[in-house]
């Protein structure tokens, strides 16, 4: 079977880390007997330099016509780059927002996994880090407070600001279904994070997700209030498998989950729509401070490629092979500069790619 993959190298370290992820995808294709056809798409600063726009309609059409999109990162140093003297809707980040919207990517997935070899980078107490954790945050991405009506007004000399948090049951159901489908590929547990003791929107979330849960009898379902979830993430993260939540709670909790797992260079992410299509990207930015030096950590992008195989192409075996290879490379003592520790062997971007490919089986 041939699959079409759009590649968006982007800016800064983007082209370097995407090049390694592409080589890993090629190895996965070879192992599976499938073939991948790639199309490179310009976005962000690279697109501004070439076309004057952060994302063209042609670029969107190419992404839409593919089975999945793998992205590096976009943007430059806001203090020095000429891209940031453009109006906000012409800057690099506007391209990414436009792409997410055009592709209707409503489910954001961010795994947080603690590699035993990187335990020293975990800010949690040793006895908690020793238990390890492996969770997937599923965040609704296109509704809620960030997209609701808002206004600021003044009455009798007093300023008031209003933001609206609204969800309809269809928006909740579609992301809940994604969360349960993902749990079925993992340890079969979903925790719905809400504030149902206070918010009407959370009570609707609970009612809808309880209904969805009935279609997945093999998945354990529980609810947890958001304030308690924030505490439990630092007290006992091992209890979680899939955490499902609305946009703003997810924004905050996914950063908390990233923080407890150590380096930003290790964290992958995916944004999915109603079909199996998805946009896959590392959680970090374009790191302009180290761009072009061949030292960036490609692991987050390589793990994003593994998510692409798992969630868009149903190639679980090859996704497992990549994730296992990353674990082996770390166990063998290889580190890029951002995760370097005493007694380890420091390698560059390309060498890290080679080491992972060698260990894929
Ligand atoms: P950043 O994540 O790019 O960098 C923060 C620090 O982490 C830097 O010291 C950097 O060298 C390091 N770092 C990040 N990724 C790394 C990797 N793979 N390997 C080794 N070190 C790594 O964040 P920033 O400096 O705040 O932002 C730089 C640019 O990236 C900005 O233009 C910002 O808007 C953009 N950005 C883009 C995305 C995206 O494309 N989705 C996300 C976040 C930031």
pLDDT digits (tens, 9 = 90+) for 183-196: 998 999 999 999 99
Residue located nearest, by CA, to atom 36 of ligand 1: 285
What pLDDT band is residue 261 in, cutting at 50, 70 and 90?
confident
- Summarize the confidence of residues 53-71 as an average pLDDT: 98
How far are the Cα atoms of 16, 29, 189, 315, 325 from residue 320, in angstroms, in the given order?
23, 13, 20, 9, 8
Catalytic residue, chosen from 26, 77, 134, 251, is 251
Q: How far is the CA of 266 from the centre of ligand 1 (A)?
A: 12
Residue nearest atom 11 of ligand 1, based on CA coordinates: 287
pLDDT above 80: residue 262: no
- Rounded to whole angstroms, the Cα distance separating 17 from 33 reads 25
Residue 263's pLDDT is 72
The pLDDT value given to residue 51: 97
**Confidence (pLDDT) at 119:** 87
Q: Please state whether 163 falls in left (phi above 0), alpha (psi between -120 and 50) or beta.
A: beta
pTM for the predicted model, two decimal places: 0.92
Atom of ligand 1 nearest to the CA of 298: 18
Annotate 115-133 with b (16+ C-beta within 10 A) or e (fewer). Answer: bebbeebbebeeebbeeeb
**What is the arithmetic mean of pLDDT over 166-177?**
97
Tokens 């958001």 correspond to 226
Structure-token pair, residue 250: 């997810």
The average confidence (pLDDT) of the chain is 95
Whole-number pLDDT of residue 196 = 98
Residues whose CB is less than 8 angstroms from the CB of residue 35 and which lie 6 or more positions away in sequence, other chains included? 1, 2, 3, 29
Substitution candidate for ligand 1 out of 15, 55, 285 with most atoms within 8 A of CB? 285
Give the integer Cα–Cα distance in Å for 154 and 138: 38
**Taking residues 101-116, what's their average pLDDT?**
93
Task: Point out the catalytic residue in the list 38, 84, 134, 146.
Answer: 146
Rg (CA), the chain: 21
Choose the weakest-confidence range: 13-27, 161-175, 259-273.
259-273
How far is 173 from 179, CA to CA, in rounded Å?
A: 10
Mean pLDDT, residues 137-160: 94
Q: What is the helix (H) or strand (E) element at residue 46, kind and residue range? A: helix 45-51
Q: For a pLDDT cut of 70, what percent of the chain falls above it?
A: 100
Query: E strand or H helix at 101, and its extent?
Result: helix 92-102
- The CA distance from 154 to 120, in Å, is 51
249 in Cβ contact with 194 (< 8 Å): yes
Q: Mean pLDDT throughout 308-319?
A: 96
- pLDDT band at residue 264 under the 50/70/90 scheme: confident
Contact 242, 138 (CB under 8 A): yes
C-alpha dihedral, 112 to 114 to 120 to 121, nearest 10°? -20
* CA-closest candidate to residue 143, choices 57, 46, 251: 251
Kindly state the DSSP code that residue 115 receives in the 8-state scheme: -
Q: Is the pLDDT of residue 325 over 90?
A: yes
> 49-61: per-residue pLDDT in tens?
999 999 999 999 9
The pLDDT score that the predictor gives to residue 147 is 87
How close is the Cα of 71 to the center of ligand 1, in Å?
13
pLDDT of residue 68: 98
Residue to mutate (ligand 1; options 79, 287, 337; most atoms within 8 A of CB): 287
Task: Determine which one of 49, 255, 314, 316 is catalytic.
Answer: 255
Three-state SS at 240: coil
pLDDT for res 41: 98
Q: Which of 286, 268, 280, 292 is nearest to 350 (CA)?
A: 292
Tell me, yes or no, if 227 is annotated catalytic.
yes
Q: If you measure from the C-alpha of residue 213 to the centroid of ligand 1, how many angstroms do you get, rounded to a whole number?
A: 37
Q: Which numbered atom of ligand 1 lies nearest the CA of 300?
A: 18
Q: Provide the pLDDT for residue 265.
A: 74
Which residue's CA is the nearest one to ligand 1's atom 26?
285
Does 67 qualify as catalytic in the annotation? Answer: no
Whether the per-residue pLDDT at 72 is higher than 80: the answer is yes
- Which of these is catalytic: 22, 98, 178, 195? 195
SS (H, E, C) 322-361: HHHHHHHHHHCCEECHHHCCCCCEECCHHHHHHHHHHCCC
pLDDT exceeds 90 at position 164: yes
Query: What mean pLDDT comes out for the span 305-320?
Result: 96
Identify the pLDDT of residue 191: 98
Q: Pocket residues for ligand 1 (CB within 6 Å)?
A: 13, 17, 73-76, 93, 96, 264-265, 281, 284-290, 296-297, 300, 338
Q: Tell whether the model's pLDDT for residue 215 goes beyond 80.
A: yes
Residues 321 and 135: their CA atoms lie apart, in Å, by 19
> From the CA of 309, how far away is ligand 1's center (Å)?
24
Q: Which two tokens stand for residue 319?
A: 């996704």
Give the pLDDT of residue 200. 98
Which residues fall within 8 angstroms of residue 354, CB to CB, at 6 or more apart?
A: none
Task: State which ligand 1 atom lies nearest to the alpha carbon of 297.
Answer: 19
Distance, in Å, from the CA atom of 91 to the CA atom of 45, rounded to the nearest integer, reads 7
Highest mean pLDDT among 53-57, 141-145, 283-287: 53-57
Predicted confidence at residue 258, as pLDDT, reads 87
Q: Closest Cα to atom 16, ligand 1: which residue?
A: 265
Choose which residue among 20, 83, 108, 284 to substitute to test ligand 1 binding: the one with the highest number of ligand atoms within 8 A of its C-beta.
284
The tens digit of pLDDT for each residue in 332-342 reads 999 999 999 89
Q: How far, CA to CA in Å, does 10 sit from each of 55, 187, 353?
A: 11, 34, 19
Residue 284 has pLDDT above 90, yes or no: no
């Amino acid at each position: 079977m041939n699959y079409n993959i759009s590649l968006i190298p982007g800016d800064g370290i983007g082209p370097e880390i995407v090049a390694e992820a592409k080589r890993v995808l090629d190895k996965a294709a070879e192992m599976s007997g499938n073939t991948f056809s790639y199309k490179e798409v310009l976005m962000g600063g690279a697109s501004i330099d070439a076309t004057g726009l952060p994302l063209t309609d042609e670029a969107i059409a190419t992404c839409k016509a593919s089975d999945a999109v793998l992205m590096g990162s976009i943007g430059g140093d806001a203090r020095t780059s000429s891209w940031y003297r453009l109006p906000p809707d012409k800057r690099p980040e506007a391209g990414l927002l436009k792409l997410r919207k055009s592709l209707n990517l409503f489910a954001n997935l961010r795994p947080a996994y603690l590699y035993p070899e990187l335990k020293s980078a975990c800010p949690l107490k040793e006895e908690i880090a020793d238990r390890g954790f492996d969770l997937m945050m599923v965040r609704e991405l296109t509704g809620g407070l960030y997209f609701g009506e808002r206004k600021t007004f003044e009455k009798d000399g007093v300023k008031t600001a209003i933001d609206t948090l609204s969800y309809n049951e269809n928006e909740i159901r579609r992301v809940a279904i994604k969360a349960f489908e993902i749990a079925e590929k993992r340890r079969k547990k979903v925790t719905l994070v809400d504030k149902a003791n206070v918010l009407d929107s959370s009570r609707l979330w609970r009612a809808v997700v309880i209904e969805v849960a009935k279609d997945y009898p093999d998945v354990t379902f529980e609810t947890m209030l958001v304030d308690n979830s924030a505490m439990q993430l630092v007290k006992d993260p091992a209890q979680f498998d899939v955490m499902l939540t609305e946009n703003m709670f997810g924004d905050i909790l996914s950063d908390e989950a990233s923080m407890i797992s150590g380096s930003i260079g290790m964290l992958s992410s995916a944004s999915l729509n109603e079909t199996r299509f998805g946009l896959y990207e590392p959680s970090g930015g374009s790191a302009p401070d180290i761009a072009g030096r061949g030292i960036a950590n490609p692991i987050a992008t390589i793990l994003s490629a593994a998510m692409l195989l798992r969630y868009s192409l149903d190639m679980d075996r090859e996704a497992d092979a990549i994730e296992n290879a990353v674990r082996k490379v770390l166990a063998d003592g290889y580190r890029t500069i951002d995760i370097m520790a005493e007694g380890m062997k420091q390698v560059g971007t390309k060498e890290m790619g080679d080491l992972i490919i060698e260990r894929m089986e």
